[in-house]
A and B are shown apart, each in its own frame.
Chain A
Amino acid sequence: MTSWPGLVLRGVILALVVALVTVPEAFRPVFAPVAPTPQQAIYTRTSILSLAMSHLALVAIACAAATIVAVTLAIAVSRPGGAAFRPLSRTIANVGQTFPPVAVLALAVPALGFGSGPTLVALFLYGLLPVFENAMTAFATLPKTTLDAARGMGLTRAQRLWQVELPLALPVILTGVRLSVVISLGTATIGSTVAASTLGEVIIAGLLTNNTAFVLQGGLIVGLFAVLIYDAFVLLEVWLARRTGRATTR
């Protein structure tokens, strides 16, 4: 996992994405062959750095909110008293997922206006399901004898939740967060159609002007972000799972 070639590859990808974001001009020769004119090889209307930062911030905020809500919900319905709500909450989360993102944006604009608001709502809704499903699985598969021992030793409900259930569920929950983050990174690009500032702006500008260079530039950065973040989550999950002696989950 943390072999030398792996480390080198990660370093190269990280350096590449940092360079793409901070000194886009340096890549003019790379994108020029697919641009209509050499002047249009690099997107310059807005700073790529600020677009990238706001893209990441939107994803981070939406996923953090989705994680908190989904995990709280999963905790609630995995208590004995919440069992009755389990099928219902699953259905709601699933229906949320089948709604096309564009429709969510279209519906949210009248309520929230143009800008980041509708995008945050869409990302939040799309982030819920993977985290919720994984958290449900995590809570349902906790080792029974450990929970029984925890209760038998006199841990209160809250102590069992914070000291035993959540730490043991964490690696599986993180798998859900990882999926949700990767989905959001891609979905956020559509947000620029309703004037959220994301890297989608670069891609859409390219599509509107038939400029493959812009599409490639925006797509490459989003893709590399996804690769790096996915990888970081996997490393964290493996480390946590190894610490608790569970088989590695992927």
Chain B
Amino acid sequence: MIEIDALTKIYGETRAVDAVSMTVETSSITAIVGTSGSGKTTLLRMVNRLVEPSSGEVRINGERTADMAPYKLRRRIGYAIQGHGLFPHHSVGRNIGAVPRLLGWSKKDIRARVDELLELFGMEPDAFRDRFPHELSGGQQQRVGVARALASRPDLMLMDEPFGALDPIIRARAQEDLRRIQRQLGSTIMLVTHDMDEAIRLGDRVAVMDGGKLVQYAPPEEIVSRPASDFVAEMVGDNERPIRLLALIPVADAMEEGNAEGPAVAATASLRDALAMGLWSARDALPVERDGEVVGRVTMDAIRARAERPE
């Protein structure tokens, strides 16, 4: 558990981060979202003390970070940034093994971990281990950057717009990969983004920043359905709100008994997917399947009910 307690950073006249308090649960993703200059990067960098707080403190599993030597603290915290920051003069394997090497792991353990991570990110170890970063595509470089941050099984992983430099298709894949790998490893992640879509898609909780202040910290459903301020509402986008809400709800949640005509929608798909299918094929209800068997149906009325403004 990461506790951030009244954390503040003042640059001259600017309160870059203004008394932010929040708790990040172990094995969850917290997405920090806000416009440019809202203090996201500064907040993140105070956690691993790349920026020293003006006041307030951070505790990791109860330990005050202010009491640790910065370089030792940083070795316990993964760090991945936009533009990856790989070492151009080191092979992929050496890049990924960098922190384990700092921590004194054996060569054998480092090699095993490098191969495990390359596999996890869908990169054949024998083909990629000895390549240099400039011999990779942008998406591959980014994956190596994230793999490097995960290598020592850190208590916490900080990611600052890690997918910011990727084109939309590769970006969507990178987000899916991250979600899958985070679930698999149980990592604790704080991720900064300026993209509300990304925050809603990836975050177990979303922290919205505005002018250095934390204006709302809640699960994505709540951010979408009950924005705490006009600013948050604007970030979410009025027109997209019902669709965003539907995208967060699995079909299974709105399923009922009964039959329907035509091709089925998966129980694990989102209501947004179901809505799209229903509209496209002009049906009032769709069969729902799980593991290839029809288990019920979902009606357009039920979907509409879930998209309405909560009272």
A contact set with B: CB distance below 8 Å: 143, 145-156, 159, 164, 167-168, 243-246
| Bitwise interface map of B from 78 to 92 toward A, beta carbon under 8 Å scored 1, else 0 | 010111111111000
The answer to whether B88 and A152 touch across the interface, beta carbons within 8 angstroms, is no
Nearest 10 Cβ contacts at the A-B interface: A245-B134, A149-B85, A152-B79, A154-B74, A154-B75, A145-B85, A244-B89, A145-B83, A154-B71, A244-B88
The interface residues of chain B lying within 8 Å CB-to-CB of A244 are 88-89, 132, 134
The interface residues of chain A lying within 8 Å CB-to-CB of B102 are 153-155, 159
Q: How close is B70's CB to chain A, nearest CB, in angstroms?
A: 8
Pick from B50, B87, B89, B132: contact of A151, CB under 8 Å: B50
Of chain A, the residue at the smallest CB distance from B95 is A149
Q: List 21 A-B contacts (CB under 8 A).
A: A145-B83, A146-B87, A146-B88, A149-B84, A149-B85, A149-B87, A150-B85, A152-B81, A152-B85, A153-B79, A153-B148, A154-B70, A154-B73, A154-B74, A154-B75, A155-B71, A156-B71, A244-B88, A244-B132, A245-B133, A245-B134
B173 interface residue per 8 A CB criterion: no
Q: How close is B149's CB to chain A, nearest CB, in angstroms?
A: 8
Known: A146-B85, A149-B145, A154-B72. 20 other contacts (CB 8 A): A145-B81, A145-B84, A146-B88, A147-B85, A148-B85, A149-B85, A149-B86, A151-B50, A153-B75, A153-B99, A153-B102, A154-B71, A154-B73, A154-B99, A156-B71, A167-B89, A168-B88, A245-B88, A245-B133, A245-B135
B98 interface residue per 8 A CB criterion: yes
The interface residues of chain A lying within 8 Å CB-to-CB of B99 are 153-154
The interface residues of chain B lying within 8 Å CB-to-CB of A156 are 71
With A153-B98, A153-B102, A155-B102 in contact, do A164 and B134 touch (Cβ < 8 Å)? no
Expressed in whole angstroms, the Cα–Cα distance for A245 and B84 within the complex equals 15
Of chain B, the residue at the smallest CB distance from A160 is B71
Expressed in whole angstroms, the Cα–Cα distance for A146 and B48 within the complex equals 17
The answer to whether B81 and A245 touch across the interface, beta carbons within 8 angstroms, is no
Expressed in whole angstroms, the Cα–Cα distance for A143 and B86 within the complex equals 10
B contact set with A: CB distance below 8 Å: 48, 50, 70-75, 79, 81-89, 98-99, 102, 132-135, 145, 148, 158
The interface residues of chain A lying within 8 Å CB-to-CB of B72 are 154
With A152-B50, A153-B99 in contact, do A143 and B79 touch (Cβ < 8 Å)? no
The interface residues of chain A lying within 8 Å CB-to-CB of B158 are 152
Expressed in whole angstroms, the Cα–Cα distance for A151 and B70 within the complex equals 10
The interface residues of chain B lying within 8 Å CB-to-CB of A145 are 81-85
The answer to whether A164 and B71 touch across the interface, beta carbons within 8 angstroms, is no
The interface residues of chain B lying within 8 Å CB-to-CB of A153 are 74-75, 79, 98-99, 102, 148
The interface residues of chain A lying within 8 Å CB-to-CB of B98 are 153
Q: How close is A154's CB to chain B, nearest CB, in angstroms?
A: 4
Q: How close is B58's CB to chain A, nearest CB, in angstroms?
A: 15
Of chain B, the residue at the smallest CB distance from A163 is B87
The answer to whether A152 and B71 touch across the interface, beta carbons within 8 angstroms, is no
Q: How close is A21's CB to chain B, nearest CB, in angstroms?
A: 37
Q: How close is A17's CB to chain B, nearest CB, in angstroms?
A: 34
The answer to whether B74 and A149 touch across the interface, beta carbons within 8 angstroms, is no
Expressed in whole angstroms, the Cα–Cα distance for A165 and B79 within the complex equals 19
Expressed in whole angstroms, the Cα–Cα distance for A151 and B85 within the complex equals 11
The interface residues of chain B lying within 8 Å CB-to-CB of A245 are 88, 132-135
The answer to whether A148 and B81 touch across the interface, beta carbons within 8 angstroms, is yes
Of chain B, the residue at the smallest CB distance from A243 is B89
The answer to whether B81 and A143 touch across the interface, beta carbons within 8 angstroms, is no
Of chain B, the residue at the smallest CB distance from A149 is B85
The answer to whether A146 and B71 touch across the interface, beta carbons within 8 angstroms, is no
The interface residues of chain A lying within 8 Å CB-to-CB of B48 are 152
The answer to whether A243 and B86 touch across the interface, beta carbons within 8 angstroms, is no
The answer to whether A168 and B89 touch across the interface, beta carbons within 8 angstroms, is yes
Q: How close is A80's CB to chain B, nearest CB, in angstroms?
A: 14
Select the residue from A143, A145, A154 with max chain B CB neighbours within 10 A: A154
Expressed in whole angstroms, the Cα–Cα distance for A168 and B50 within the complex equals 22
Q: How close is A216's CB to chain B, nearest CB, in angstroms?
A: 44
The answer to whether B88 and A149 touch across the interface, beta carbons within 8 angstroms, is no
Expressed in whole angstroms, the Cα–Cα distance for A181 and B74 within the complex equals 42
With A152-B50, A152-B81 in contact, do A146 and B86 touch (Cβ < 8 Å)? yes
Expressed in whole angstroms, the Cα–Cα distance for A199 and B135 within the complex equals 47
Expressed in whole angstroms, the Cα–Cα distance for A147 and B84 within the complex equals 11
Expressed in whole angstroms, the Cα–Cα distance for A243 and B134 within the complex equals 9
Expressed in whole angstroms, the Cα–Cα distance for A245 and B70 within the complex equals 31
Of chain B, the residue at the smallest CB distance from A152 is B79
Q: How close is A29's CB to chain B, nearest CB, in angstroms?
A: 51
The interface residues of chain B lying within 8 Å CB-to-CB of A167 are 89
Expressed in whole angstroms, the Cα–Cα distance for A82 and B287 within the complex equals 71
